[in-house]
Amino acid sequence: MNTIKDIDLNLLVYLDVLLREKNVTRAAAQLNITQPAMSNGLKRLRNLLNDPILVRTSEGMVPTQRALDMQEALRGVLYSVEEMIQPVREFDAPTSDQVFRIMASDYAASTLMPKLLEKLDEQAPNVSLDIMTPSDISFHDVENGKVDLAINRFEQLPQSFHQKNLWSDEFSCLIRKDHPLLEDYTLDNYLKAQHVWVSKTGFGVGVGMDPHDVQKLGWVDDALDKLGKRRKIKVFTRNYHVAMYLARQGLVATLPTRAAELYSQDNQLVMKAPPFEIPGLTLTMIWSPLLQHDAGHRWFRQVVAETAAAS
């Protein structure tokens, strides 16, 4: 029977990276060691656990069931060690020049960031923000603490992440004031109009949209599908400001109310509640357990939460 004193704890780090990368070469590069050293580490892990760990298939290296069963507990152990050895430091907001890196959807960036900047100017004038899009990063970047916060609407999240809901929102329609739809604002006439679709959730580089694949179209089209209805989508975009501009050109934009309100004073547009029920959405911020106890990060999370609550 193996005991902790018999184990090279570096092997746990090797195992963690191997299970995430599923590739010896990439795992070696991430740990800045040679491929032979990583291959030797994998061999030692196989002997230690009496399990192949990774098995080569036609689709590449695939973890065994035992390796998958260990993965979540392994991450917890490594997070605990990381937290234990982090130096304790104070955070002085008025003098700090720290850069906080945020992944924010276009919706979050448009509705939350302007007010967040106002609050930062008051409390920490030298703090900077590096705002990235969902396509710029992965869950691994958040998990490893390379990104301070990710703010978006998330359908699924790894259990290891910390999270806090910032606000809930409904949906509204932006329609050009001379649009025929406004003469008889019914669901049937809404469906006859041409629409602009806008959404971007989750992480990673997006792919082209299929107007017939309702399951991937999101809240608005899912709600219509439950009614046995489908709208005519003329343009797909991932940018809310593009969608709102196209509303001025005559397309109907159905989008979260907080985003629509950014253009509510536009004298060319009318904002109305949709002529059917759409479930609301929740904006959430998530962060790595590695950053949970960092003084600066705790302060920044609090500022973001207070800004959202006051918005």
**Distance (Å, whole) CA 229 – CA 242:** 25
Can you give the pLDDT at residue 8?
82
Q: CA-CA distance, 98 to 248, in Å (whole number)?
A: 40
DSSP state letter for 113: H
Assess whether 150 and 194 both reside in one domain: no
State the pLDDT at residue 216. Answer: 60
Contacts 24+ apart (CB under 8 A), 23-29: 23/60, 23/61, 24/61
Question: DSSP letter at 112?
Answer: T
Q: What is the DSSP letter of 101?
A: E
Among residues 291, 256, 301, 281, the alpha carbon closest in space to that of 164 is found at 301
Same domain, 300 and 234: no
Q: How far apart are CA 65 and CA 80, in angstroms?
A: 24
Are 162 and 83 in contact by the 8 Å Cβ rule? The answer is no
Residue written as tokens 């590069």? 29
* Residue 295 lies inside a defined structural domain of this protein: yes
The angle that helices 10-21 and 24-31 make with each other, rounded to 10 degrees, is 130
Residues 131 and 183 in one domain: no
Q: How many domains does the chain have?
A: 3
- Residue 44 covered by a domain: yes
179 and 271 together in one domain: yes
Is 22 in the same domain as 67? yes
Q: Nearest to residue 232, comparing CAs of 183, 198, 192, 184?
A: 192
Range of the domain at 67: 4-85
> Are the C-beta atoms of 78 and 13 separated by less than 8 Å?
yes
pLDDT score for 198:
87
User: 């739809």: which residue's tokens?
Assistant: 181
Are 222 and 179 part of one and the same domain? yes
Q: What is the mean pLDDT of each run of 10 residues along the chain (311 residues)?
A: 72 89 89 90 90 88 89 83 72 94 92 96 96 86 90 82 95 96 97 89 54 67 93 91 93 95 92 96 93 92 96 86
pLDDT attached to residue 218:
80
Model pTM?
0.69
C-alpha to C-alpha distance for 158 and 141, rounded to whole angstroms: 13
Last residue of a domain, one of 39, 61, 85: 85
For the domain that residue 49 is a member of, what is the CATH number?
A: 1.10.10.10
**CATH number, domain with residue 137:** 3.40.190.10
